[in-house]
Amino acid sequence: MQVTPVIEVKNISKSFTSTKALSKVELRIFPGEVRGLIGENGSGKSTLSAIISGNLKADEGEMFMFGKPYSPTNSFEASEMGVSIIVQEQGTVETISVAANIFAGREHQFCHMGFLNSKKLTVEAQKLLDSIGLEYIRAEMLVAGLSFEDRKLVEIARAFYRLPELFIVDETTTALPQRGRNILYGLIKKLKANGKSVLFISHDIEELVEVCDTVTILRDGKLAGSLTEDEMDPYKMKTLMVGREITDNYYRSREKTAEQSDKIVLSVEHVSSKILKDISFQLKKGEILGFAGLSDCGIHEIGKVVFGLIKPEKGKVLYGNGIEITNPKQAIEKGLGFMSKNRDRESMLIELTIKENTVIPSLPKLARYGFFITPKSEKELALKWCGRLNVKMKNIEQPCSELSGGNKQKIVLAKWLANDSEIFILDCPTRGIDIGVKEAIYKIMGNLKSQGKSIIMISEELPEVIGMSDRILVMKDGCLKKEFIFDNGTSEADIIQYMI
């Protein structure tokens, strides 16, 4: 007899303006199954989980739950039907209590004659927290007072108020310390024992092998294959993810590392801010300096401080010749360029054209007699750099909002290159872009290095930090914890132990 799947996804496709995120994906998850989902960034894993959890609507295709048509219009509806999700990004409201977060949208259960019985709400929430091993989190506390890790656990508790039929974990474990991970693994076992199912999304291949019964691999929005427990093998999984045999020179080639000089182009001296605690480091000419750490440990703040966007409470950022950097305008004049993690909102003028975006930092240089900017000079500059970086576009008058993530990223690089920048601060340079463009970005970074330009690379993806950096600084809770100088032996495990 055939078992009815908890969730059956049929022919699901989804596009975002110019990129196809998913194309005709099929997936069936059976009761009691822990299914892994893996793929490179931009392969469509998060899109698929968002569709199943009701956060996104598919363009085509159908879904079934226990054989019946299933089409939730939002995540709340999905969770009422038994599909709960916890995601990478923060999903709690800071300004209300833990209990209020857990029961958000379900307050009516605690209402009597229109009044909320907040005592009962708190008691129930505490019971729930206790039952899953989170006794140390108090239900009446404000979420704002919790650490990032604990907030994630509150979200997990919320998902477990009623045992979900399908529990989706979207790359949450990277944000959790070992204790939190163990709690999560325990809950997954509990679900499995109760005949419930889990869709487990992770970058960590070893973790997937450990936790999952089966693994489905996505590549460029298509199903690349599924592996059962006996077939699961890290090498096989990687090959399916990338779609070809993995070679070691996916990142930059290491033969030509000799160009690095000892000239210091930037030094950060005893910088402290809200998050950062007494950070000091130096950047050399032609060096790629990687920053690794959890997303809220201060690595992103470092980039903003160096670029003059955040004024440190103590300490200073000095340009090579000793001049202090105090604001972004001056930083740009000194040859710095910053690519924000939040590209569309901070590094791009998204509604404006490719040309306008490429030339904006260079406007002072383009001005003749310090004043006139000719359309011809703008056009030439934009064409030159967009051409060199192989931006896929109709023409330079196309609005940036129509471009794919990878091409937007290239425009951000083009605008700093056009301004002859010497120091590039790249915060998550390959976030959310597909693998082909990713490789192109790595190649550009390698070229910049060989031209003697310096790069600060901030990333939450350890493989790329290890693959690209000459030196890696590992951060935790606002402090610098460890420095790794590149050698072929550095592994993710070495770095992770300093991160968490």
Partner 1 sequence: MLIREKLSKYISFLGLLVLVIFFQIVTKGNLLTTKNVLLILNQGYAILIASFAGVFVMSTGNLDFSLGAIAGFSCVCATLAALNMNPFLSIPIALLVGVGIGLLNGFVQNVFKIPSFLTCLCTMFILTAGTQSLITGSSIMMPISMMSWDSNAVKIVFGIGYTVIMVVLFKYTRIGKQLKAIGVSPEAARQSGVNVPGMMTLAYVLTGLAGGIAGFFLMLRTGGAATTTGQTVTTDVIIAIVFGGMSIAGGASSKISAAILGALTVTILNNGMILAGYGGDAQQFVKGMLFLVIVAVSTKRGTGIVK
207 binds partner 1 (CB under 8 A): no
Q: Output 333 or 492, the one with its CB closest to partner 1.
A: 333
Q: Measured between alpha carbons, how far is 48 from 350 in angstroms, rounded to an integer?
A: 26
| Segment lying near partner 1 (by CB under 8 A), choices 59-67, 200-208, 372-380, 437-445 | 372-380
Residues in Cβ contact with 246 at an 8 Å cutoff, skipping those fewer than 6 apart: 235, 238, 239
Distances (CA, A) of 326 to 305, 331, 360: 9, 7, 20
Query: From the CB of 92, what's the least distance to partner 1, in Å?
Result: 25
Q: Output 264 or 366, the one with its CB closest to partner 1.
A: 366
399 binds partner 1 (CB under 8 A): yes
| Segment lying near partner 1 (by CB under 8 A), choices 84-92, 147-155, 256-264, 363-371 | 363-371
385 binds partner 1 (CB under 8 A): no
Q: Output 164 or 361, the one with its CB closest to partner 1.
A: 361
355 binds partner 1 (CB under 8 A): no
Triad 310, 449, 325: Cα angle to 5°: 25
Please state the separation of Cα 314 from the chain's center in Å.
29
Single residue of 367, 397, 451, 491 touching partner 1 by CB under 8 A: 367
Query: From the CB of 308, what's the least distance to partner 1, in Å?
Result: 10
Single residue of 110, 251, 338, 442 touching partner 1 by CB under 8 A: 338
Single residue of 69, 114, 322, 375 touching partner 1 by CB under 8 A: 375
Query: From the CB of 397, what's the least distance to partner 1, in Å?
Result: 12
Neighbouring CB atoms inside 10 A of 364's CB total 12
Q: What share of the chain is helix, strand, coil (3-state, %, to 5)?
A: 35, 25, 40
Query: From the CB of 394, what's the least distance to partner 1, in Å?
Result: 13
Query: From the CB of 303, what's the least distance to partner 1, in Å?
Result: 11
Please state the separation of Cα 441 from the chain's center in Å.
16
- Residue 216's φ and ψ, nearest 5 degrees, are -110, 135
> Interaction with partner 1 in 303-332: which residues (CB under 8 A)?
307, 309, 328-329, 332
Torsion region of 494: left, alpha or beta (phi above 0 gives left; psi -120 to 50 gives alpha): alpha
In the three-class reduction of DSSP (H, G, I as helix; E, B as strand; rest coil), residue 215 is classed as: strand
Query: From the CB of 260, what's the least distance to partner 1, in Å?
Result: 28
| Number of residues engaging partner 1 in binding (CB under 8 A) | 29
In the three-class reduction of DSSP (H, G, I as helix; E, B as strand; rest coil), residue 313 is classed as: coil
Which H or E element spans position 284? strand 279-284
Q: Measured between alpha carbons, how far is 269 from 288 in angstroms, rounded to an integer?
A: 19
Single residue of 141, 209, 264, 350 touching partner 1 by CB under 8 A: 350
Q: Which residues bind partner 1 (CB under 8 A)?
A: 307, 309, 328-329, 332-333, 338, 340, 345-352, 356, 360-361, 363-364, 367, 371-375, 399, 415
